[in-house]
């Protein structure tokens, strides 16, 4: 399982279609909204593990 970097939810990599690649690493998202937020500002989510939204 992967962790959605935006909302912190567990995401099944084999089921989700919301995937972003950033600096050579893949990130998986529970929904399009989370992916869009990440794409807009990836650094915001990579360096703060204490963000919880939704």
Please name the residue that has the structure tokens 């990440």.
Answer: 38
| pTM for this prediction | 0.81
pLDDT, one tens digit per residue, over 8-20 is: 999 999 999 999 9
The domains of the chain are located at: 2-46
pLDDT for 47: 72
CB 34, CB 44: distance < 8 Å: no
Res 49 pLDDT > 60: no
Residue 28 φ then ψ, to 5°: -115, 145
Specify the pLDDT at position 52.
56
């Amino acid at each position: 399982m992967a962790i959605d970097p935006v909302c912190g939810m567990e995401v099944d990599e084999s089921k989700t279609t919301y995937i972003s690649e950033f600096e050579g690493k893949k990130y998986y998202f529970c929904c399009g909204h989370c992916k869009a937020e990440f794409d807009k500002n990836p650094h915001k989510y990579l360096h703060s593990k204490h963000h919880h939204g939704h």
